[in-house]
Structure 1
Amino acid sequence: MKQIKTGWRPVAAILLLLVTWEAAGRAADIPSWLLPTPSQIWLEAMAGWVDYKLHLFSTIKLTLIGFLLGSSIGITAAVCLHLLPKLRETVYPLMILSQNIPIIVLAPLLVIWFGFGILPKLIIITLVCFFPIAVATLDGFRQTSPELLHYLKMAGADKRQIFWKLEWPTALPALFSGLKISATYSVMGAVISEWLGAQRGIGVYMTLASSSFRTDRVFVAIFFIMVLCLLFFVIIITIEKRVIRWKKKGAEQHG
């Protein structure tokens, strides 16, 4: 009930934006190739479904594979760097430096090295996704309670038990924060990777629409990118609520 009471505000804001956009476009008589109205974008989305549904499904497939790969590498890297402090001191600065390389600059090099197949696209999505997950998970490990850690050591727990019983559950909220960030980044990474020369995908559809001055189709592509980002974000939130039930129960008990 609380979500229903507060959820109408962003919906009302979006509706107000669309109504204002529609009214301004009609009043100023703006050409559709320059700035189409929401109604024109909607009509194009309905009429062109046959043309871009294959592009949409291709992007979804690429995003899911890249996100799962990037998440696996990010979590594995965070666990290894946490368990091996010397390795963390060596590799962590390099991870930060890797994020200072613009993807749009790195993408052509990946095409030269690995061709136009799926591999360079997955590398781009992985590079986009793994860093937020690795950093967030490492921060989660650092939030482990020193008192509980001392208690487990006094009780005779070994490193493996301490990790699975204390450190890993403590890091889960931070891990899901990184997953939510990477879920939205993965869609953008997939679209950017499709600009490298893919045959299908929202990025390809957007490029073709832009080159032919079909601005309405460009906005359709933007709309689907936003929907995919929101969908993946909601899926991660749903999984988080199922996995971290203890956090909600603890909050209710303290409340």
Structure 2
Amino acid sequence: MQNPLPRRSGAGLTRGLPAVLSVVSAFALWELYVRISGISPLILPAPSRVLEQMVLNREVLWHNTVPTLQATLAGFSLSLTVAFVLSIALDFMPRLRRALFPIFVVSQTLPLVAIAPLVVLWFGFDLTPKILLVTLVTFFPMLVALVDGYDSTDPEIEELLRSMGASKRVVFRRARLPSAMPYFFAGLRISITYAVVAAIFAEYVGARAGLGIVILNAKNSFRPDLVLAAVVISSVLTLALFAITALLQRVALRWRDAGGDQ
């Protein structure tokens, strides 16, 4: 039997090529416009200038990237744990779901620009407020995805398990949890894109170090090139975390592909 991995790898590269070409074309047009128009670097720096600042300020940028990444990973880990535990509790206790779910919805309507300064005021300028804000922003998409995933379970499978004497816990483990996994990873990919932004915004409001501090200081110093350098790094972090979640999904749900090939 021929190994399908090379074919899949080639197909993945082919699917990603249009996106790479689009990004390269956008940066090329940006560079060309800046050079032709003669616009001031204080208004719109060229991509080459942004890259130059990334190289010249690599130590400062790296020193401030580490706390942002720490806050992102810690906050997202807490968010993942909270969402998973709450989803199980809501699935096993429908009354609790009806009581708490509206509160979770309301929590997502609170403007971050108003909540972030209060969280910093209450918990100080260390890592804690950033972790809490990342958790607040990212846990809800995963919670909704898991709850909807549990509800998507085939009723016939549940009835079959119950007819065989399976308890509610066994039904959840054997049927409802596996059914929720595709939904969960969809929510995971959505949440991870918010995590870095939430961490940077928390730093922007109040912190001792981080990419948000770099952006704030560069903005106050009229350095749009350094601002964009920090933005590029945050985008790279987001893309890297998104790629990791996609890889985890492929590994965790490999059983679906294996079952479809039989």
User: TM-score normalised by the shorter chain: which range applies?
Assistant: over 0.9
Deviation at 1:22, TM superposition (A): 0.6
Match of residue 234 from structure 2:
225
Deviation at 1:180, TM superposition (A): 1.0
Match of residue 199 from structure 1:
208
Match of residue 89 from structure 1:
98
Residue 190 (1) aligns with residue 202 (2): no
Deviation at 1:117, TM superposition (A): 2.7
Matches within 5 A, 1:23-172: 23-172=32-181
Distance 2:124 2:50 in 1: 35
**Deviations 1:26-74, CA, capped at 9 Å, x for gaps:** 0000111100011111111111101211101111111110110111101
Deviation at 1:161, TM superposition (A): 0.9
Deviation at 1:88, TM superposition (A): 0.2
Deviation at 1:24, TM superposition (A): 0.6
Can you give the 5+ residue segments of structure 2 that lack an aligned partner in the other structure?
1-9
Contact 2:211-2:230 at 8 Å conserved across structures: yes
Distance 1:61 1:108 in 2: 20
Contact 1:74-1:129 at 8 Å conserved across structures: no
Match of residue 24 from structure 2:
15
Aligned length: 253
Deviation at 1:130, TM superposition (A): 0.7
Distance 2:70 2:110 in 1: 26
Distance 2:155 2:23 in 1: 46
List structure 1 segments (4+ residues) > 4 angstroms apart after TM superposition. Answer: none
Deviation at 1:126, TM superposition (A): 0.6
Contact 2:45-2:224 at 8 Å conserved across structures: yes
**Deviations 1:162-217, CA, capped at 9 Å, x for gaps:** 11111111111111111111111110110011123211100000100011011000
Contact 2:64-2:211 at 8 Å conserved across structures: yes
Distance 1:188 1:83 in 2: 33
Deviation at 1:249, TM superposition (A): 2.4
Contact 2:134-2:195 at 8 Å conserved across structures: yes
Distance 1:83 1:251 in 2: 31
Deviation at 1:118, TM superposition (A): 2.2
Contact 2:193-2:242 at 8 Å conserved across structures: yes
**Deviations 1:57-111, CA, capped at 9 Å, x for gaps:** 1111111101101111011111111111000000011111110001111011112
Q: Which amino acid aligns with 1:221?
A: A
TM-score relative to the length of structure 2: 0.94
TM-score relative to the length of structure 1: 0.96
Q: What SS does the aligned partner of 1:30 have? A: coil
